[in-house]
Amino acid sequence: MSTGVPRFGARLAEAIARHGRLCVGIDPHPHLLQAWGLNDDVSGLREFGSRVLEAAMGRVGVIKPQVAFFERRGPAGLAVLAELQQEARREGLLVIADAKRGDIGSTMAGYADAWLAPEAELAADALTVSPYLGFGSLRPALEVARRHGAGLFVLALTSNPEGREVQLARTEDGTVASRIAAQAAAENPAPQIDGALGDVGLVVGATTAGLAEEAGVDLTAGAMPLLAPGFGAQGATAEDLRTGFAEAHRQVVVNSSRGILAAGPDVAALTAAVRRTAEELAD
């Protein structure tokens, strides 16, 4: 990268060091829009996003908008997401776009350009990607991310129980999840300094991290950043995170969406929920 901007792993490590490991999830579920007294339309999305952003700014280092809830409102919904991401990044927050993109060849490159090229309207710092068309199908996204100093989070041991049927399936070389994790780890050069994180990481649920050992997933390999959804609303606790991730705990960024959003619609109440959650996750 020629811009002088640090790579994603370095930006994330700095954000965690400064603000802790909480990532605020921005998931404008229809039921939350209703509960907040907002319209289930683009005006509701915009207001929802702006209140969560206000609560998050200066208190956490990372946000994770759930793309699906913006996409359901079509191009206008995505335009709201683009504005939100741009504002968050201007304010120094890292944005992980949770779009779970996965395809082959130039189509995969198209997705990566849409979410990771700096000039793209929807540019984020990192993108969640699905390796279930084969890890190699992610190559174009890995190249785009590398070119722009962006990050990727590869779905490995997702937080939902249905994921196990695929991710824990055994091949002659180990479980599917262990192979994905090893291939993702190999994308990160050996860390030069203590505490560094790679640019290519995994999604490992706070609810499923405890399965990593029996699944043969080496969470410490490649100093991968680990995005852990499943905390709070899906039932995982801070203790589950500590025991589940064990030595890899320092690499973890913990998403909480509904656990925080349930405190809305008041920005003051959202802010208090962000603070409380961050304290719960403090090392």
The residue ranges that bind ligand LLZGTKA7 (CB under 6 A) are 25, 27, 66, 98, 158-160, 203, 205, 229-230, 232-234, 255-259
- From the CB of 211, what's the least distance to ligand LLZGTKA7, in Å? 12
25 or 225: CB nearest ligand LLZGTKA7 = 25
d(CA 16, CA 12): 6
- From the CB of 192, what's the least distance to ligand LLZGTKA7, in Å? 30
User: Taking a C-beta distance cutoff of 8 angstroms, is the pair 206, 191 a contact?
Assistant: no
- From the CB of 105, what's the least distance to ligand LLZGTKA7, in Å? 25
Kindly state the DSSP code that residue 194 receives in the 8-state scheme: T
The gap from C-alpha 282 to its chain's centroid, in whole angstroms, comes to: 19
Query: Which one, of 111, 110, 147, 103, lies nearest residue 127 by Cα?
Result: 111
User: Taking a C-beta distance cutoff of 8 angstroms, is the pair 176, 151 a contact?
Assistant: no
Q: Which tokens is 242 given?
A: 């500590």
User: Taking a C-beta distance cutoff of 8 angstroms, is the pair 188, 8 a contact?
Assistant: no
24 or 185: CB nearest ligand LLZGTKA7 = 24
144 or 204: CB nearest ligand LLZGTKA7 = 204
Where are the strands (E) in the chain, listed by range?
22-26, 62-65, 94-101, 126-129, 151-157, 170-171, 174-175, 200-204, 226-228, 252-256
Q: Which active-site residues does the annotation give?
A: 100
203 or 223: CB nearest ligand LLZGTKA7 = 203
> Is the torsion defined by CA of 120, 122, 125, 131 positive or negative?
negative
User: Taking a C-beta distance cutoff of 8 angstroms, is the pair 161, 202 a contact?
Assistant: no
d(CA 18, CA 242): 20
Q: Tell me the three state secondary structure of residue 16.
A: helix
d(CA 273, CA 263): 6
- From the CB of 254, what's the least distance to ligand LLZGTKA7, in Å? 9
7 or 33: CB nearest ligand LLZGTKA7 = 33
- From the CB of 66, what's the least distance to ligand LLZGTKA7, in Å? 4
- From the CB of 36, what's the least distance to ligand LLZGTKA7, in Å? 15
Q: Is the peptide bond before 229 cis (omega within 30 degrees of 0)?
A: no
149 or 270: CB nearest ligand LLZGTKA7 = 270
